[in-house]
């Protein structure tokens, strides 16, 4: 297991030097953030990012994420040009030593939350999702949520939602198949593993189709192009937001097949109606048994990349919600402790 940490570049208040001091930390997960979605990332920018990370004593072997343009998901005529750009991004990432690329196929919205700073009893704040609040939203009248909807102007978002009215799950699967058959051979050629992130939360929202929600969806994904380069980012927090998903079972199944290329470790506290908030990483604080999940990774011989996913904001820290230093560092140390314990005393 290789412990990594997400970093948003020089504008990130968390520094590489901070990250390097977390016990067991070996790598950085990052991306190029100043190139428009769908365009090619210059090799020079990627090399400069790698050089900066390596000067701090860390490795840059995982990209999260290369964004998938909406025209690809919609299956528009422009997709072939955009797919060609995505293929080139895979080649360029490989040229600087990247081994894994995380990406997703979520229409319009990436992770969706209703509150960015829900206060917990201990005074920390965290990201949360209120199912009842989302259910009341009429997309026709506009959507106002923190986070990803800020990527679009109101008229742009309305037009995009209108385009998706003609795309159901079957059509989205067809568009994904077209995409995978174009990019996976390139990934194979250059030795990169593509790692599909699940929907977050793993359910339809605002009438949009969602096709990476559960075990069956992931099995279908890896069956489209049967290649070691076609794998998954197993995000425990995203999948675990649906209590019908057994994250431990999924780790065992897809880990045994060698298709988990990247692990996101996050715990969530889930309510019966599907509402949830992001808890500490500890098993006792959330709905997921993180100790059992870590053991499943160990039992299946996982030797890939992990990262502590979103954390609470604690000790007065400010900055990008979910991506502070302190709680993610605590999460990394906790996960390292579970791994050490199972490796010494919990062999299957």
Catalytic positions, written as ranges: 197, 235, 264, 309-310, 323
Distance CA 183, CA 64 (A): 16
As beta bridge partners, residue 101 has 63, 194
**H helical segments located in the chain:** 16-20, 43-55, 70-74, 79-95, 131-135, 154-163, 169-190, 215-224, 236-240, 247-256, 290-299, 326-345
Residue 44 contacts by C-beta under 8 Å, 6 or more apart in sequence?
A: none
Token code pair at residue 206 = 């605002």
Q: What angle is formed at CA 140 by the lines to CA 138 and CA 143, rounded to 5 degrees? A: 60
Q: How buried is residue 264: exposed, middle or buried, by Cβ count under 10 Å (0-12/13-18/19+)?
A: buried
Roughly how many angstroms between the first and final C-alpha of the chain, as a whole number?
17
Distance CA 217, CA 214 (A): 5
Residue position matching structure tokens 């050089």:
51
| Strand arrangement of the beta sheet that strand 125-129 belongs to | 115-119, 125-129, 276-278, 268-270
Distance CA 332, CA 2 (A): 11
Q: What angle is formed at CA 346 by the lines to CA 344 and CA 348, rounded to 5 degrees? A: 120
């Amino acid at each position: 297991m290789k412990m990594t940490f997400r970093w948003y570049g020089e504008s990130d208040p968390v520094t590489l030097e901070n990250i390097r001091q977390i016990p067991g930390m070996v790598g950085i997960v990052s991306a190029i953030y100043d190139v428009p979605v769908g365009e090619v990332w210059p090799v020079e920018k990627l090399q400069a990012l790698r050089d900066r990370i390596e000067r701090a004593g860390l490795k840059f072997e995982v990209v999260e994420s290369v964004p998938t343009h909406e025209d690809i998901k919609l299956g528009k005529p422009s997709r072939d040009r955009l797919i060609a750009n995505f293929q080139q991004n895979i080649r360029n990432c490989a040229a600087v030593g990247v081994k894994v690329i995380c990406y997703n196929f979520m229409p319009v919205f990436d992770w969706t939350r209703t509150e960015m700073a829900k206060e917990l009893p201990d005074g920390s704040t965290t990201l949360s999702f209120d199912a009842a609040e989302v259910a009341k939203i009429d997309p026709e009248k506009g959507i106002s949520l923190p986070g990803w909807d800020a990527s679009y102007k109101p008229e742009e978002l309305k037009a995009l939602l209108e385009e998706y009215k003609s795309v159901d799950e079957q059509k989205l699967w067809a568009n994904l198949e077209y995409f995978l058959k174009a990019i996976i051979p390139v990934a194979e050629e250059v030795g990169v593993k593509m790692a599909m992130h699940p929907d977050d939360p793993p359910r339809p929202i605002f009438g949009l189709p969602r096709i990476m929600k559960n075990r069956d969806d992931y099995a279908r994904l890896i069956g489209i192009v049967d290649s070691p380069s076609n794998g998954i980012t197993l995000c425990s927090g995203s999948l675990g937001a649906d209590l019908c998903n057994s994250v431990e079972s999924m780790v065992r199944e897809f880990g045994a097949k060698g298709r988990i290329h990247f692990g996101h470790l996050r715990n969530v506290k889930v309510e019966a109606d599907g509402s949830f908030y992001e808890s500490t990483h500890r098993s006792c604080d959330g709905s997921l048994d993180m100790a059992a999940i870590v053991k499943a990774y160990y039992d299946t011989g996982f030797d890939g990349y992990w990262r502590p996913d979103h954390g609470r904001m604690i000790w007065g820290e400010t900055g990008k919600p979910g991506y502070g230093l302190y709680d993610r560092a605590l999460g990394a140390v906790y996960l390292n402790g579970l791994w050490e314990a199972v490796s010494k005393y919990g062999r299957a």
